[in-house]
A and B are shown apart, each in its own frame.
Chain A
Amino acid sequence: MNKPTERSIDPATIEMLEHVQDRDLCLAWDRYDAMQPQCGFGSLGICCRNCTMGPCRIDPFGDGPQEGICGATADIIAARNLIRMIAGGASAHSDHGRDIAHTLSMAAENADGDYQAKDERKLHALAAELDVETEGRALADIAKDVAEICFGQFSQQHGEVVFAHRAPEDQQRRWRQAGVMPRGVDREVVEIMHRTHIGVDNDPINLILQGVRSALADGWGGSMIATDLSDVLFRTPNWVVSRANLGVLDPEKVNIIVHGHEPSLSEMIVAASEDKEMVALAQSHGAAGINLGGICCTANEILMRHGVPLAGNFLQQELAIATGVVDAMVVDVQCIFPSLGRIAEKYHTKFISTSPKAKFPHAEHIEFDESRAMEIAKHIVRTAIENRTNRPATTVPLPTHTSPLVAGFTAENIFTALGGRYRSTYRPLNDAIMAGRLRGVAGVVGCNNPKHKHDFGHVEMTKELLANDVLVAVTGCTAVADAKAGLLCPEAAMQYAGKGIQEVCRAVGIPPVLHLGSCVDNSRILIVLTNMVNEGGLGESIADLPVAGAAPEWMSEKAVSIGFYVAASGVYTVLGEPFPIQGSKVVTDFVTEGMAEYFGGKFAFEADPIKGARLMIDHIDVKREALKLPGPMYEVPYAPKTETEAVAVA
């Protein structure tokens, strides 16, 4: 059996795992052990269950069947399986976006409603982009029109998803040439499901290209709509200071964890928890107040906009309950373990589901109806307050680990962060890269996965990039991991980063790792990259930029979609966990080589985060050379290829 120190690098997680060792809770890591060995046919992507002539499997050793019963080869089967993962992931992100568009529409129609469009500036910017008239019009009317157009992106059948036009010309040209310019969010997902049905698309490359198209409709469509309209409704984030890890839980207060993804729920819980009546109720129950903490992406949403602390990331969700001080865990959609209800029953914690789309065993379902948002949010908070009296007399000692953090970076305020109030442009970022003070920029994103030591991939990769003067942008569970490790503090630059990043961070006060938000906010990264291209000096295309992406510990289908929209937008992307496709040489070769010809971006599979970081650094150096930029100002390359190639500039 694995020791806690082998499961995670995070001290709070290790401590909790040690505390619960005797309790026989059967956590994700235990279930992972019990699942061994995992089926190789599945891992290789050569098992097909798409029809009942099957299930079929291809023998990877060549002796048994090389075709399924319909005649599909390993290449066809692996391609079909891969793009169905994209369909799942794109659907999750896009449905989230659809829900936010609906909330905005509702806000526009209800002047007295619980939701109001709070960010006038962003709404006006969107309206201008979408040719919606703003002169002399009420905010609500503008909001209604913008929401309608965004809704329309989901049901659009022809034409092009409108926000794809934000991308640099080179990306758009490549997409049109490859036939993957997305037409409509829902249409692309449906076409994946059609093409992967038995006897439809049996060309692996053709299949993957449809997967790309759907991923693009997610990244430049569904996710981008989620990000932008959440900004309109709840405010575009700005810099915020907060804390991360299980130590944010406070035994003296009512502790509520929000977990899941959509801010339409978490924003209301924040508002309800700050309501004077609710705070007074908590105090009358003997609590010092109401303490909110978040897990997964909804945590990132309310962190970015309200500074609500991060309780933990994906693999910590069960451990949060095991602290014994969580009075309610409120969930909506995505990345929520169905085991939570069973575990909550061993503690006093109320496990509350809220979405009609996401019901769980042993959960108390309090359905969240947006037309009565605040009323229901208060009901949920009240339930938590009243549950506090059910806390057991003794619990395990609460891990006290927390780390301070700075978050709240967006494509818009990176302007201001780097250029100051009077010179808000991307010029300083581009100049720093051109001069070599910054080698380049990396995006490190994604989930946790018990196949990888918890947080190890995220933190080690980030540190290796920083040491080589690559500025790092993070989202999702990576952001939480790096935050817990103290990397989201400006001071971290002095401890972990190369001299170039140290200079930048000292000059403008930013941390060396920039938290851009939740997983749908990976769309912010697309805009940052576009802004860098538009600012000039770093090539004509995202594919020219000295940048790279990575997901060191990913597990979800959403991550597959993100990976594809990022790579298809021109970014070299290193994955710590391979796609389940390696039973097919054709598919593996296409995603690791061939797709670069179409899109300028491609994937690499590397489980070791240091090696992965070095692949990214090598790639960034290649891009720098192609742009005829000088070498990095301060760094000796991590592993000079020959003695003469080592460039050490004092």
Chain B
Amino acid sequence: MAKMIVVDHDRCLGCKSCELACALAHCQAASLEEAVRTDARAEPRVHVEPSDGLGMPMQCHHCTNAPCVAVCPTGAIARGSQDAPVLLDQDRCIGCRLCMVVCPFGAISISHHGKAMLKCDLCIEQTQGGGLPACVAACPSGALRYEDIDEWLMQRRRRSAELLRAADQHTLEP
């Protein structure tokens, strides 16, 4: 998995544009208006919860050792390769809800239409073509970003390194 969705929770304003975009991207309708007008089965896979006066988008983490994969009795949840997103095949899903129960993030929910569970697929069609997941594309404040993991780690380390160096200099001065 070269890239992941990074959440900058200080920037989430709770507008829920990500929820709307996710629902729209995973339904039959071509537009939000059409989705509202018809029975388009638009349901989000990301959920914004309140947190300390701001919002917190609760997302699937596509865990490398995913509890949902381990627990699924029909093998409906699986990943194509070690770097691929964890995908849920609705045709194989029997709606037993074990995945929902074991997910530590509450990222799996029950669909109101039919029997299956709902789970983020990292917008695999868009991202494989070099595009952005719908939630990231929709986020107006930059709380959701789609970043290369190695790049992100390097930036994080470098920022911390600078902080550590600055702290060290203080203590080492005579």
Name the B residues within 8 Å of A36 (CB-CB): 14, 49-50
Let me know if B142 and A63 touch, CB within 8 A. Answer: yes
Let me know if A64 and B13 touch, CB within 8 A. Answer: no
Is B67 located at the chain interface by the 8 A CB criterion? no
Is A57 located at the chain interface by the 8 A CB criterion? yes
Is A71 located at the chain interface by the 8 A CB criterion? no
Of A37, A60, A61, the contact of B48 (CB 8 Å cutoff): A37
Name the A residues within 8 Å of B55 (CB-CB): 37, 40
Name the B residues within 8 Å of A64 (CB-CB): 140-142
- On chain A, the number of residues with a Cβ less than 8 Å from chain B's Cβ atoms is 13
Q: How far is the CA of A37 from the CA of B13 in the complex (A)?
A: 8
Within 8 A of B (CB), among A26-46: 36-41, 44
Q: Flag B47-73 by CB within 8 Å of A: 1 or 0 each.
A: 011110111100000000000000000
Residue in chain B with minimal CB distance to A33: B50
- The total of interchain contacts (Cβ-Cβ below 8 angstroms) comes to 44
Let me know if B140 and A39 touch, CB within 8 A. Answer: no
Let me know if A61 and B11 touch, CB within 8 A. Answer: yes
Within 8 A of B (CB), among A3-42: 36-41
Q: How far is the CA of A140 from the CA of B86 in the complex (A)?
A: 82
Let me know if A41 and B142 touch, CB within 8 A. Answer: no
Let me know if A39 and B142 touch, CB within 8 A. Answer: no
Is B96 located at the chain interface by the 8 A CB criterion? no
Most buried by B among A40, A63, A64: A40
Say whether, besides A60-B13, A61-B11, A37 and B50 are in contact (CB < 8 Å): yes
Q: Flag A371-412 by CB within 8 Å of B: 1 or 0 each.
A: 000000000000000000000000000000000000000000
Say whether, besides A59-B140, A61-B141, A64-B141, A41 and B50 are in contact (CB < 8 Å): no
Of A39, A57, A61, A63, the contact of B14 (CB 8 Å cutoff): A39
Write the nearest CB–CB distance from A568 to chain B, whole angstroms.
Answer: 31
- On chain B, the number of residues with a Cβ less than 8 Å from chain A's Cβ atoms is 17
Most buried by B among A37, A38, A44, A64: A37
Let me know if A59 and B141 touch, CB within 8 A. Answer: yes
Q: Flag B9-26 by CB within 8 Å of A: 1 or 0 each.
A: 001111110000000000
Let me know if A61 and B142 touch, CB within 8 A. Answer: yes
Name the A residues within 8 Å of B14 (CB-CB): 36-40
Q: How far is the CA of A38 from the CA of B55 in the complex (A)?
A: 8
Write the nearest CB–CB distance from B15 to chain A, whole angstroms.
Answer: 5
Of A37, A38, A60, the contact of B141 (CB 8 Å cutoff): A60
Residue in chain A with minimal CB distance to B48: A37
Q: Flag B66-91 by CB within 8 Å of A: 1 or 0 each.
A: 00000000000000000000000000
Write the nearest CB–CB distance from A612 to chain B, whole angstroms.
Answer: 19
Within 8 A of A (CB), among B1-55: 11-16, 48-51, 53-55
Q: How far is the CA of A61 from the CA of B142 in the complex (A)?
A: 9
Say whether, besides A60-B13, A61-B11, A37 and B49 are in contact (CB < 8 Å): yes
Say whether, besides A39-B16, A41-B13, A57 and B54 are in contact (CB < 8 Å): no
Let me know if A39 and B50 touch, CB within 8 A. Answer: no
Q: How far is the CA of A36 from the CA of B48 in the complex (A)?
A: 9
Residue in chain A with minimal CB distance to B139: A64
Within 8 A of B (CB), among A47-106: 57, 59-61, 63-64
Let me know if A37 and B54 touch, CB within 8 A. Answer: yes
Q: Flag A263-276 by CB within 8 Å of B: 1 or 0 each.
A: 00000000000000
Say whether, besides A61-B142, A63-B142, A64-B140, A41 and B15 are in contact (CB < 8 Å): yes
Name the A residues within 8 Å of B53 (CB-CB): 37
Write the nearest CB–CB distance from A136 to chain B, whole angstroms.
Answer: 67
Name the B residues within 8 Å of A38 (CB-CB): 14
Q: How far is the CA of A435 from the CA of B54 in the complex (A)?
A: 49
Q: How far is the CA of A44 from the CA of B140 in the complex (A)?
A: 14
Write the nearest CB–CB distance from A144 to chain B, whole angstroms.
Answer: 53
Write the nearest CB–CB distance from A366 to chain B, whole angstroms.
Answer: 35
Q: How far is the CA of A37 from the CA of B54 in the complex (A)?
A: 7
Q: How far is the CA of A63 from the CA of B139 in the complex (A)?
A: 12
Most buried by A among B13, B14, B49, B141: B13
Name the A residues within 8 Å of B12 (CB-CB): 37, 40
Let me know if B51 and A37 touch, CB within 8 A. Answer: yes
Let me know if B13 and A39 touch, CB within 8 A. Answer: yes
Write the nearest CB–CB distance from B116 to chain A, whole angstroms.
Answer: 25
Q: How far is the CA of A40 from the CA of B12 in the complex (A)?
A: 8
Let me know if B50 and A57 touch, CB within 8 A. Answer: no
Residue in chain B with minimal CB distance to A38: B14
Of A39, A61, A63, the contact of B15 (CB 8 Å cutoff): A39
Residue in chain A with minimal CB distance to B14: A37
Let me know if A40 and B142 touch, CB within 8 A. Answer: no
Let me know if A40 and B54 touch, CB within 8 A. Answer: yes
Q: How far is the CA of A425 from the CA of B48 in the complex (A)?
A: 60
Name the A residues within 8 Å of B140 (CB-CB): 41, 57, 59, 64
Q: How far is the CA of A242 from the CA of B118 in the complex (A)?
A: 58
Write the nearest CB–CB distance from B138 to chain A, whole angstroms.
Answer: 12
Q: How far is the CA of A44 from the CA of B54 in the complex (A)?
A: 12
4 residue pairs, one from A and one from B, having the closest CB atoms: A40-B13, A37-B14, A36-B50, A37-B55
Contacts beyond the supplied A37-B49, A64-B140: 7 A-B pairs with Cβ under 8 Å:
A37-B12, A37-B48, A37-B54, A38-B14, A41-B140, A61-B11, A64-B142
> Interface residues, chain B, CB within 8 Å of chain A?
11-16, 48-51, 53-56, 140-142
